[in-house]
Amino acid sequence: MRIISRRILREFWKKHPDATIYLETWFRDVERATWTSPKDIKAVYSNASFVANNRVIFNIKGNHYRLVIVVIYQYGVVHIRFVGTHEEYDQIDVTSI
């Protein structure tokens, strides 16, 4: 998959260094993946949640943080929309971010 907005991850792990290894691992795994449907994501990330508008939510570092992406399956693109704490996650509208 082609991933857009890695900068969001870098900025986050500067503030939360304990998340770095988890986000780097996620990034490398997704770069190597070929997702054609939500089923492909669920096969690897069983705890991933799917919401409207092709948004996928991942729990990072044992559910300490949340990562929200948009997947455009037909183009093989993942767009990182949000990474943050649960408190920050609770402040966003995940379907439109």
Q: Domain residues of the chain, as ranges?
A: 2-89
| Lookup: tokens for 54 | 């092709």
Helices 20-32 and 6-15: crossing angle in degrees, nearest 10, is: 160
Interval 69-87: pLDDT, tens? 999 999 999 999 999 998 9
- Under the banding of pLDDT at 50, 70 and 90, the label for residue 92 is very high
| CA dihedral for 16, 17, 22, 23, sign (positive or negative) | positive
Task: Tell me: pLDDT of 49 over 90.
Answer: yes
The domain defined by 2-89 folds into: YaeB-like fold (3.30.2310)
| Lookup: tokens for 55 | 């948004």
Task: Tell me: pLDDT of 46 over 90.
Answer: yes
| Pair 95, 51: CB distance under 8 Å | yes
Interval 7-45: pLDDT, tens? 999 999 999 999 999 999 999 999 999 999 999 999 999
